[in-house]
């Protein structure tokens, strides 16, 4: 039997709170910053929409504006990690890890530095922006890299927990977030552990496996 704690109305999305997973990232990042003074946040000119802004307002001395330069964003984060920082670097997934894949591979993964790569506006949830902005390849690009943990949170509550889990994970992490608001069906007490899957509902007719907001 599944004992995974869920919102009582989890099968009725219209009755659930709707929030984008990037909001969970923004909240989790602030919490991670409170817990560890070595947590730093970098952004490539998308501070508001990646929700890095919340961290930047609370810890301005630990926020680094990199400008529209995703290759530098990645390799710079590697250097920060090399001197003991826990860098979270955010942009849109189509730019990061889209444009800076080689820097992520060489300077983050092969160096095994604990950089957290946060790809916002991933997938087709950014629909109106068109094909150039719909990162459909980011998971494949990140999954093939050595030392890399890949996480796609199911809702904003899980995104908050995933961000906190990434902050204490010893190696590189890719966190994927969406733009659109999606139903929040997990609870603060719902478990989250990197590398674990959970049974949401028991049944016998079929097995449905999902990742990310498709779980909603």
Partner 1 sequence: MKLEELAHIANEVRQDIIRSLLQAGSGHSAGPLGMADVFTALFFEVAKLDPQNPQWPERDYIVLSNGHICPLLYAVMAQRGFFPREELLTLRKFGSRLQGHPHREALPGLENSSGPLGSGLSQAAGMAYGLRMDQKKNRVWCLGSDGELQEGNVWEAAMFAGKYRLNHLCYIIDRNNIQIDGLTENVMPLEPLRAKFEAFNWHVLEMNGHNFGDILNTLSEAKAILEKPTCVIAHTIPGENVGFMEERFEWHGKSPNAEEAALALKELRSLGGKIECSDHC
> Residue 139 CB, nearest distance to partner 1 (Å)?
23
Residue in the structure block whose two tokens are 């919102």: 7
Q: Is 170 in the site for partner 1 (CB under 8 A)?
A: no
**What are φ and ψ of residue 91, in 5° steps?**
-160, -170
User: Least CB distance from residue 112 to partner 1, whole Å?
Assistant: 6
Task: Please write down the HEC assignment for all residues of 101-159.
Answer: HHHHHHHHHCCCCCCEEEEECEHHHHHHHCHHHCECCHHHHHHCCCCCEEECCCCHHHH
Q: Is 75 in the site for partner 1 (CB under 8 A)?
A: yes
Nearest approach in angstroms of CB 119 to partner 1 is: 19
- 186 beta partners: 6
148 contributes a contact to partner 1 by CB under 8 A: no
Closest to partner 1 by CB, 113 vs 182, is 113
Q: Which residues are catalytic?
A: 70
Per CB under 8 A, the segment of 74-82, 156-164, 177-185, 197-205 that binds partner 1 is: 74-82
Q: Is 144 in the site for partner 1 (CB under 8 A)?
A: no
Report how far apart, in Å, the C-alpha atoms of 51 and of each of 48, 110, 197 are: 5, 29, 27
Closest to partner 1 by CB, 112 vs 180, is: 112
Contact between 91 and partner 1 by CB under 8 A: the answer reads no
Cβ proximity of 90 and 42 under 8 Å = yes
Smallest distance, Å, CB 75 to partner 1?
3
């Amino acid at each position: 039997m599944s004992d995974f704690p869920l919102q009582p109305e989890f099968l009725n999305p219209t009755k659930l709170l709707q929030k984008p997973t990037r909001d969970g990232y923004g909240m989790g990042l602030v919490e991670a910053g409170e817990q560890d003074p070595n947590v730093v946040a970098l952004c490539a000119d998308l501070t508001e929409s990646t929700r890095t802004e919340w961290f930047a307002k609370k810890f301005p001395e630990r926020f680094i504006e990199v400008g529209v330069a995703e290759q530098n964003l990645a390799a710079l984060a590697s250097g920060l990690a090399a001197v003991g920082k826990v860098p979270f670097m955010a942009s849109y997934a189509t730019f990061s890890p889209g444009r800076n894949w080689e820097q992520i591979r060489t300077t983050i993964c092969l160096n095994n530095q604990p950089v957290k790569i946060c790809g916002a506006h991933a997938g087709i949830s950014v629909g109106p922006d068109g094909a150039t902005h719909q990162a459909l390849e980011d998971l494949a690009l990140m999954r093939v890299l050595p030392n890399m943990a890949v996480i796609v949170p199911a809702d904003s509550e899980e995104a908050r927990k995933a961000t906190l889990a990434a902050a204490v994970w010893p190696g590189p992490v890719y966190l994927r977030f969406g733009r659109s608001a999606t139903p929040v069906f997990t609870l603060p007490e719902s478990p989250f552990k990197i590398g674990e899957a959970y049974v949401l509902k028991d049944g016998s007719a079929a097995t449905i496996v999902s990742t990310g907001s498709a779980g909603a």
